[in-house]
Structure 1
Amino acid sequence: MSIYFTEDHEWIKVDGDNGVVGISPYAAKQLGDVVFVELPEIGREMGKGDEAAVVESVKAASEVYAPVSGEVTEVNAKLEDAPETVNASADDAGWFLKIKISDASELESLMDEAAYKAYCDGL
């Protein structure tokens, strides 16, 4: 399984043509306490960069963008009742959606973990 990051602090863990999408611990920390998550509908087709979900914290509301194009195959419904999971486990249990990747070549424009860490260090 490979993990990639966007400049907007989304991550995608890729296994074959399936991906799991969330926001990075860095993003969760910047947001502060997450109080609400709006998830996409299962079956929705998304293009790379499309709004995939919305996360609201005590500080602000932010969009979560699709790191790649594809179809939503599952959402993390647990976040509706426990949005704080995003803060507690942004890179694991706080995932937002699963996507069937339609264009794997889009992964090439994303950062690996080392590049993302360097990117965050420069912010």
Structure 2
Amino acid sequence: MTTRYTEDHEWITVEGDVATVGITAYAAEQLGDVVFVELPEVGKTFKKGDEFAVVESVKAASEVYAPVDGEIVGVNDDLDGEPAKVNEDATGGGWFAKFKLADASQLEGLMDEDAYKAHIA
């Protein structure tokens, strides 16, 4: 299971043809305390780069962009009652949505962990 990253601080982990997407710990740290997450509806489709979610913190609201084309097949309902999970475990329990991949080759254009670390350094 490989994790890839976008320049906009989303992470994506793929298992089979389903990708789990969230924001990075760096992004969560920059936002501060997350107070609300607006998630997409299951069944909606997005193109790479489309806004698919919004995360609001005490500092700001920020859009979350789809790292790949796909259809939403699941969302993290836990974030409705516990948006702070994004701060506590951004790359684990704080995930946002699951995408059914439309084109797995789009993953090749995303950064690996070393490239992402260099990007935020």
Secondary structure of 2:41's partner? coil
- Aligned residue pairs total 121
In 1, Cα distance between the equivalents of 2:2 and 2:44?
Answer: 24
In 2, Cα distance between the equivalents of 1:110 and 1:77?
Answer: 27
Runs of 4+ in 1 over 4 A off after TM superposition: none
Secondary structure of 2:27's partner? helix
In 2, Cα distance between the equivalents of 1:106 and 1:82?
Answer: 31
In 2, Cα distance between the equivalents of 1:81 and 1:18?
Answer: 25
1:58 corresponding residue in structure 2: 58
In 2, Cα distance between the equivalents of 1:101 and 1:117?
Answer: 25
1:18 corresponding residue in structure 2: 18
CA RMSD of aligned residues (A): 0.5
In 2, Cα distance between the equivalents of 1:107 and 1:13?
Answer: 10
2:112 corresponding residue in structure 1: 112
> For 1:32-86, what per-residue CA distance to the aligned partner results, in whole angstroms no more than 9, with x for missing partners?
0000000000000100000110000000000000000000000000001000000
TM-score after normalising by structure 1 = 0.97
Q: CA deviation at 1:16?
A: 1.8
5+ long unaligned stretches in structure 2: none
In 2, Cα distance between the equivalents of 1:70 and 1:28?
Answer: 24
**One-letter code of the match for 1:73?**
V
